């Protein structure tokens, strides 16, 4: 396989057919002093303003509470991290804005209004707005003087966003659009000052995007939705009845709204992935505190192997997801700078970079949300009965986490999107999957390589496993496409199997590269627990790939083809044994000793 270099990293999905170097990554251990100060500012804000008010936030008895907390976040500059300085923001790089998202992932329901406003509610104007729109709205969005909401979903248009029925008709004087329709599940609806609304103009095939000010005539809404979790976030249905929207409030070009929506969702997906890391670290910290304090049979429950197993796997999966999050953020920032050097305007460069790494953004949304679900579930289990009680410290997190597998496109839709985008890249010729796929087919009929040269180096075996897992993905995808052709798009189970293979490859590789770079910075002894995490996750990922691969192969292959694919799977999914129990115990003991997530 080719090696990704500084010159060609800006290719989404390329990780499947290339090998990356640790030098190509940014890892969280490399945060500079300014970024650490930003992190501490966020953490202090959450501990002093959010945690003491969680019950009040969730009760929603004071409708001004969350908006006032957003105002305070705006005063600290936390709402304008991604907004350029000329519009009153800080113009921070992409990973720094991701760090803010991660930190607020521990703020329970407050993370929803925070990211809905500073992310998907602001970015359509930031990336696609006119100079006049940016000058008018961005400074006030940066401070929180204006709050924003993103209005895409409708009763009959969820995953199929372009099926929305909200219509915009040009007024008789041709100075306004008259908007009619309904939006639902709109975060921040109860207090937002401006609404980013998607609607079709006349009989257009694709959506357009509009800025609708809250005070406009014809805007009404239902009462707050009653939800399983994130109770402190405002969620309402919004109705538009002959709502007049000035023509200058059209965002981008007519019919460009669907493209805007998809690109903004890409940002929302990766930001959600970052937030799940913060939420998982909170669940781990609360579990560690309880495991050290709660005694059974005369000793703290953290003494027991079953609890150590849980704590170590929570930390390992979180650390792996974090590696993939900031790897992707770094790639996006590099792509932005590369496109700017080519002469592209900054806003266009950012849009192009997000579109380029849409596959990775979807991977992080799926992986992060399922990782967090695992962590909060284990946190409840570690706490036992008190974990199930609403008076305990982890029940709220358990309920709040569940929405993440639905937000920003369900995980099922995102799995389908991952493979669809990969195939489209191959069909357009921007990603050569055919050459490596054909090479894998030829390899299946060759004698296996039994060489061990250079395999004493750190992670040499694991990197070989990663290469083979990539071959597994190419083998199955190639065989499925040859067998099913255009019918593959209707075989959602197979597509989701392939997505599971792909996301585990990306996350496992991200973790291996992160730890390899860390060892280069701190040395082997100082990184021993992270090295164990890499070994643990490789075995975990391989088991997930093996299961998904078998299910996919069984679904379409038979006879000689079935036997050949299973032989190939056996060849490509070998891994050296490792004492995972001892590795997990060492990680858990380090966590328990520090009494906090320490990686």
Per the structure block, which two tokens stand in for 571?
């060849």
**What's 181's DSSP letter?**
E
Q: Cα–Cα distance between 259 and 207 in angstroms, integer?
A: 8
Phi (first) and psi of residue 12, to 5 degrees: -65, 140
Q: Tokens 């041709």 sit at which residue?
A: 174
Q: What is the DSSP string of 535-553?
A: HHHHHHHHHHHHHHHHHHH
CB contact at 8 A, 397 and 390: no
Q: Cα–Cα distance between 211 and 204 in angstroms, integer?
A: 19
Left if phi > 0, otherwise alpha if psi is -120 to 50, otherwise beta: which for 192?
beta
**What's 566's DSSP letter?**
H
Per the structure block, which two tokens stand in for 44?
């202090």
User: Catalytic annotation on 408?
Assistant: yes
Q: How many helices (H) and strands (E) does the chain have?
A: 20, 12
Q: Cα–Cα distance between 86 and 106 in angstroms, integer?
A: 30
**What's 531's DSSP letter?**
H
Query: Partners of 3 in the beta sheet?
Result: 19
CB contact at 8 A, 505 and 15: yes
Termini Cα distance of the chain? 31
CB contact at 8 A, 38 and 61: no
Longest Cα–Cα distance in the chain = 81
Rg (CA), the chain: 24
Choose the catalytic residue: 102, 395, 408, 509. 408
Q: Which of 239, 199, 200, 248 is nearest to 216 (CA)?
A: 239
Cβ atoms within 10 Å of 113's Cβ, excluding its own: 29
CB contact at 8 A, 442 and 562: no
Per the structure block, which two tokens stand in for 457?
């180096």
Say how many CA atoms lie within 13 Å of 310 toward its Cβ.
23
Query: Partners of 167 in the beta sheet?
Result: 180, 200
CB contact at 8 A, 394 and 380: yes
Residues 6+ apart with CB under 8 A from 47: none
Active site residues: 408
């Amino acid at each position: 396989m080719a090696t990704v270099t500084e010159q060609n990293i800006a290719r989404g999905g390329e990780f499947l057919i290339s090998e990356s170097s640790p030098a190509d990554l940014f890892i969280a251990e490399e945060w500079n002093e300014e970024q650490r100060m930003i992190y501490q500012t966020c953490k202090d804000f959450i501990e002093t303003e959010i945690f003491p008010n969680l019950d009040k936030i969730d009760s929603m008895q004071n409708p001004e509470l969350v908006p006032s907390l957003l105002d305070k976040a705006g005063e600290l500059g936390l709402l304008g991290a991604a907004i350029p300085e000329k519009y009153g923001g800080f113009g921070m790089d992409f990973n720094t804005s991701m760090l803010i998202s991660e930190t607020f992932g521990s703020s329970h329901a407050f993370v929803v209004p925070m990211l809905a406003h500073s992310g998907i509610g602001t970015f359509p104007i930031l990336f696609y707005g006119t100079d006049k729109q940016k000058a008018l709205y961005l400074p006030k969005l940066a401070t929180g003087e204006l709050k924003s909401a993103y209005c895409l979903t409708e009763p009959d248009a969820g995953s199929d966003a372009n099926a929305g029925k909200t219509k915009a008709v040009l007024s008789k004087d041709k100075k306004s659009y008259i908007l009619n329709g309904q939006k639902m599940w709109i975060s921040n609806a109860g207090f937002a000052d401006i609404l980013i609304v998607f609607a079709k103009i006349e009989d257009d095939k694709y959506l357009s995007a509009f800025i609708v000010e809250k005070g406009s005539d014809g805007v009404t809404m239902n009462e707050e939705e009653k939800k399983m979790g994130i109770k402190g976030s405002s969620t309402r249905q919004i109705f538009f009845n002959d709502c007049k929207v000035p023509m200058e409030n059209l965002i981008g070009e007519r019919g460009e709204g669907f493209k805007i929506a998809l690109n903004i969702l890409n940002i929302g997906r990766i930001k959600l992935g970052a937030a799940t890391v913060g939420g998982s670290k909170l669940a781990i910290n609360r579990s560690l505190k309880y495991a050290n304090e709660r005694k059974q049979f005369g000793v703290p429950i953290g003494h027991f192997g079953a609890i150590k197993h849980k704590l170590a796997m929570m930390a390992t999966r979180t650390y792996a997801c974090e590696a993939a999050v900031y790897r992707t953020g770094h790639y996006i920032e590099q792509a932005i700078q590369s496109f700017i050097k080519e002469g592209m305007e900054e806003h266009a460069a950012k849009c192009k970079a997000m579109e380029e790494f849409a596959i990775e953004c979807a991977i992080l949304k799926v992986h992060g949300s399922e990782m967090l679900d695992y962590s909060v579930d284990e946190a409840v289990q570690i706490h036992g009965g008190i974990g199930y009680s609403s008076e305990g410290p982890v029940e709220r997190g358990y309920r709040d986490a569940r929405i993440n597998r639905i937000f920003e496109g369900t995980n099922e839709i995102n799995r389908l999107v991952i493979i669809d985008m990969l195939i489209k890249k191959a069909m357009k010729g921007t990603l050569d999957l055919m050459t490596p796929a054909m090479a894998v087919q030829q390899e299946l009929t060759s004698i296996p390589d039994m060489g061990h040269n250079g395999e004493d180096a750190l992670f040499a075996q694991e990197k070989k496993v990663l290469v083979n897992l990539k071959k597994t993905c190419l083998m199955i995808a190639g065989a499925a496409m040859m067998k099913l052709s255009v019918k593959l798009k209707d075989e959602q189970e197979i597509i989701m199997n392939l997505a599971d293979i792909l996301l585990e490859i990306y996350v496992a590789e991200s973790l291996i590269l992160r730890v390899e770079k860390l060892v280069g910075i701190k040395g082997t002894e100082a990184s021993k627990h992270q090295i164990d995490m890499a070994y643990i996750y490789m075995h975990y990922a391989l088991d997930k790939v093996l299961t998904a691969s078998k299910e996919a192969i069984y679904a379409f292959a038979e006879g000689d083809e079935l036997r050949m694919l299973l032989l190939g799977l056996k060849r490509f999914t070998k891994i050296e044994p490792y004492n995972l129990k001892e590795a997990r115990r060492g990680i858990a003991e380090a966590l328990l000793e520090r009494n906090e997530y320490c990686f």
